[in-house]
Chain A
Amino acid sequence: MTHDARPLNVQEIDVFTDTREVLAHANKGAKQRGFQDWLICDVDAHHVETVSWHELVEYIEDPVIRHQAMLYQKERIGGAPYGLNGDMGLKYQDVGGRIPHQAGVREPVDDTSVHRDVTLTRRAMQSLGVDYMVLFPTPMLTLGLHPQPEMEVHLSRAYNRWLVDKVLKADNRIKTLAYLPFNTPTEAEAMIEEFADEPGVIGFCVPSVRHKPLHHNDYMRCYARLQELGKPIAFHAAYHWQDPSLATVNRFLGMHALGFAWCNMVHMTNWILNGIPERFPGLKSIWVESGLAWIPFLMQRLDDQYLMRPSEAPQLKKLPSEYMRENCWYTTQPMETTNMKALQVTLEMINAESQLLFASDWPHFDFDLPQEIFDLPFLSEQAKRNILGLNAAKLFGLDPTPVKTL
């Protein structure tokens, strides 16, 4: 019997291809696995906030800086977005055009009733089978290195206000962990007060690329307040080529592999050895986008060294690894999967059943799908449900009933 084959609408995926086409196989996989009945929370996804920079600068609080920024956005050519530091053109994530969705999500959007980013996020949620998606900015993740600490404050407050106004209010399935400008602790405290009750703000985020140590006494008021409010604090990793410790790395692959783990390894080491979990036992910290393989390494390394030098970490009442598995939460992506035995041991070591939160990191080149957790052969169904959504629901106080329509 012979039938006619039907040519697909999209022969070659590019930056203009609709997200739903790019992720059509993901949607099919979600349906096959019955995700309609599973709560799926994606705790780390992104949008490119600089596309909307001209809107965002209108939310800058300082009238002089706001005026300057608006004129810059209107008139300046050949420059990066106003006030933004970072790696300029050293952004090779799309592997020379091989992974188009990383280069740009430039598909047509006709619906003008909501911000474009709302539509794009809805398309991603629908395709991946996600109930709630936590949205993070992208280029702003290196603002912690800004030479003007006040600019981190101006831009992060503007971003938080703009995001609430234009994106979060439009769809209660889109959430965020609001940016804390940690180089100015008093402003970070003010940010917590301003945004703790805003719609869609389910916690706070400190981008991990920064040089001020997280155990500095200046931050204790922030931690105390977050503990009191029951709002988690996330440390979102990134890479940057100005890090002297990575100065010899010449390939983006190497920079990305190390940079995203390294910043959180350093912060976690300080976090534990300075006894932050002892001082704030109710503070929930989430370690985002560093993958998982670094955690068993650091647990073993710190445990061994701590036992030989306990006088240097006098606040600890148990092993560093015990704090890491009881007081800290982790997002899955980019989940290392080339050695399943190692992954299984990792999940056991971090007590994944209660501490692990699914994250896609869509639309980045190393994004993960919920099906990767579902398909793991060594987890119970309950563990899978916890990782994919129930752990996040508990942590953030979300209703565990699925709300999506696949």
Chain B
Amino acid sequence: MTEFRIGPADQIPEGGRLVVDCDGKEVGVFRVKGALHAWHNTCPHRQGPICQGRLYAQVIEPVAADGTTRLLAYDEDAQHIVCPWHGYEFDLQTGRCQGRPTQRLRPAQLREEAGIVYVRP
């Protein structure tokens, strides 16, 4: 399988991304908590361009001991990518879909050597 050279690893800063075309196959490479993750740019919902969506921390609604709620919050530990077509949200580190963890992003094989990132889509 052909390997594709993405470029220098430091080109993708924390919270950043690079979405590339590898001879017709599109892949997004993201840096989350220092580590790189590569996903196919195809949403499992309806093949939308998931990797070109916006990044959000997961929204949570803290519940007090008495069962009441007051504010929403962002859980900065869980970084999501949101599909721009219909809003499905996926955890950038695990690829799992919020609300339906069996529906996952498809990973692309990723390799870093001498500061250069390569993927096999």
Contacts and interface: CB of A to CB of B under 8 A. Distances in A.
Nearest to B3: A2
Given A1-B2, A3-B4, A7-B19, A24 B54 contact: no
Interface residues of B, number: 33
A12 interface: yes
A29 interface: yes
Contacts of A3: 2-5, 22-23
B54 A7 contact: no
B44 interface: no
B27 interface: yes
A372 B18 CA distance: 29
A134 B5 CA distance: 45
B52 A13 contact: yes
A100 interface: yes
B42 interface: yes
Nearest to A11: B19
Interface string A166-194: 00000000000000000000000000000
A51 interface: no
Contacts of B17: 11-12
A100 B19 CA distance: 18
Contacts of B21: 5-8
B46 A101 contact: no
Interface stretch (A215-223, A270-278, A309-317, A362-370): A362-370
Interface in A1-47: 1-8, 10-14, 22, 24-25, 29
Contacts, number: 88
Interface in B46-94: 46-49, 52-54, 56, 82, 84-87, 89
Interface string B22-41: 11001100000000000001
Nearest to A101: B84
Interface in A24-83: 24-25, 29
A13 B53 contact: yes
A372 B21 CA distance: 25
A5 B4 contact: yes
B97 interface: no
B4 A2 contact: yes
- With most chain A CB atoms within 10 A of its CB, the pick from B2, B6, B20 is B20
A98 B56 contact: yes
Contact of A12 (B2, B42, B52, B118): B52
Contacts of B52: 8, 10-13
Contacts of B105: none
Interface of B: 2-7, 17-23, 26-27, 41-42, 46-49, 52-54, 56, 82, 84-87, 89, 118-119
Nearest 8 pairs between A and B by C-beta? A5-B20, A5-B4, A98-B82, A13-B84, A6-B21, A13-B52, A8-B19, A2-B3
26 contacts: A1-B2, A2-B2, A2-B118, A3-B4, A3-B23, A5-B5, A5-B6, A5-B7, A5-B20, A5-B27, A6-B22, A7-B20, A7-B21, A8-B41, A11-B18, A11-B19, A12-B17, A13-B54, A22-B84, A24-B49, A98-B54, A98-B82, A99-B82, A99-B87, A367-B86, A371-B46
Given A7-B20, A13-B53, A98-B84, 8 more contacts: A3-B2, A5-B20, A12-B54, A99-B84, A99-B86, A371-B46, A371-B47, A372-B46
